[in-house]
Amino acid sequence: MRVLVQDKNGASHPLQLDEEILARHEADPALPPACEGIFTCEARVLDVWRYTVEVGPGGAVALIAHESGTVNGSQFADRPAADALAEETAAPVLLLLLESPHTAEYRFEADRLIPRVPAQGTSPGDAGEAIRRYLHIVVGKLTLPVGCYRLVIANPVQYQCSLGQWYGKMRPVIRNHVWRQIWSLAFIQC
């Protein structure tokens, strides 16, 4: 099955999905019409700059949230990832790579996926809360030099790959197939 994936400039690139893989895992190989828009620019979950991370003497780590965020739909004071690199006094970036957007990073509305923000949720077990709760422990084990760092949270593939919204549950084989096919597109490799 051929679908189109849009790059950040809106240009379309063909993506070949294996209908046999979809069928073998109880997924209708004919994706529903609402699924057609999931690989467009409007459906990408954009990367964010969530915290400034201060590493002090002896490995003490503090997470400092922005006073206010500019990313709509975030439960945190997120700013676009590009802001972490654009400021004149840019500190080094700590990059937290996620897998690809989770279904919780979207709202499903009127047969459309509306992207939210990566790593949301403030309850135990949610990605956003886990980052807030445990990142200082992980960073403390990195033996970074004393200083300030900017934490950017990114999905290497910014599209919903599991198709779980349509198939009722996440199927790893489908997710992995779609993820690999998108990852192989030339514009993703840039």
- pLDDT for 55: 96
Residue with the larger pLDDT of the pair 64 and 109: 64
Cα 46 from Cα 159, distance rounded (Å): 9
Cα 172 from Cα 177, distance rounded (Å): 8
Residues 59, 130 share a domain: yes
- pLDDT for 161: 72
**Residue 126: what residue type?**
D
Residues 78, 115 share a domain: yes
Work out how many domains the chain is built from and give that number.
Answer: 2
Note if the pTM is more than 0.85: no
Residues 130, 61 share a domain: yes
pLDDT exceeding 70 applies to what percent of the chain? 81
Residues 123, 73 share a domain: yes
* Three-class DSSP labels, 20-34: HHHHHCCCCCCCCHH
- pLDDT for 116: 82
Alpha helices in the chain (DSSP H): 19-24, 81-86, 127-140, 164-167, 172-183, 186-189
Task: Residue 55: give the domain boundaries.
Answer: 45-156
Residues 166, 136 share a domain: no
> What tokens does 140 get?
């403390």
Residues 38, 56 share a domain: no
Residues 76, 140 share a domain: yes
Confidence of residue 129 (pLDDT cuts 50, 70, 90): very high
Cα 61 to its chain centre, rounded Å, is: 24
Residues 86, 22 share a domain: no
Asked whether residue 28 carries a pLDDT value surpassing 70, the answer given is no
Burial grade of 94 (CB within 10 A; 0-12, 13-18, 19 or more) = buried
Residues 92, 186 share a domain: no
User: In DSSP terms, which residues pair with 154 in a beta bridge?
Assistant: 97
Asked whether residue 29 carries a pLDDT value surpassing 60, the answer given is no
Residues 113, 63 share a domain: yes
Across the range 17-23, mean pLDDT stands at 72
